[in-house]
């Protein structure tokens, strides 16, 4: 199952010192790199205007995703919105549109 995660920075992120933000980002990038190597991260994007982070994950279960994503220390400073997603063409087939 693919999961789209949208991370929205909280104001509390800005209250951290630049050094603390850098430390959190480096730790989170390391976690992300490990997950990418395991095939769990499909893609990552960021909106330079809003600071929102968009990530697509590949997991067999939501529980596995939750366990891994909670390992990223910077997530205490982001609100997350998540959505299961499927390939558009596959969805059209399921709905009998093609």
User: Using one digit for the tens of pLDDT, what is the confidence trace for 12-67?
Assistant: 988 999 999 999 989 888 988 999 999 999 999 999 999 999 999 999 988 898 88
**Residue among 62, 71, 73, 84 nearest 35 (CA):** 71
What's the pLDDT at 69? Answer: 82
Domains with residue ranges and CATH for the chain? 2-94 (3.30.70.1060)
Contact predicate 15/91, CB 8 Å: no
- Closest to 62 measured CA to CA, from 8, 19, 1: 1
The CA angle 45-43-32, to the nearest 5 degrees, is 90
CA–CA separation, 95 vs 98, rounded Å? 8
Q: Give 68's pLDDT tier (boundaries 50, 70, 90).
A: confident
pLDDT in tens, 72-98: 888 889 999 999 999 999 889 988 988
Q: According to DSSP H, which parts of the chain are helical?
A: 11-14, 18-37, 62-69, 88-94
Backbone angles phi, psi at 96, to 5 degrees: 70, 25
Query: Does the global pTM surpass 0.85?
Result: no
Q: What is the per-residue pLDDT for 79?
A: 95
pLDDT computed for residue 56 by the predictor? 96
């Amino acid at each position: 199952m693919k999961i789209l995660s949208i991370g929205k920075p909280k104001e509390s992120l800005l209250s951290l010192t630049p050094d603390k933000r850098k430390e959190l980002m480096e730790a989170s990038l390391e976690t992300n790199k490990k997950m990418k190597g395991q095939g769990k991260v499909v893609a990552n994007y960021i909106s330079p205007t809003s600071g929102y982070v968009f990530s697509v994950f590949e997991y067999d279960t939501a529980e596995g995703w939750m366990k891994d994503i909670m390992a990223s220390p910077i997530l205490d400073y982001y609100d997350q919105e998540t959505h299961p997603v499927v390939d558009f063409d596959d969805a059209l087939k399921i709905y009998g549109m093609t």
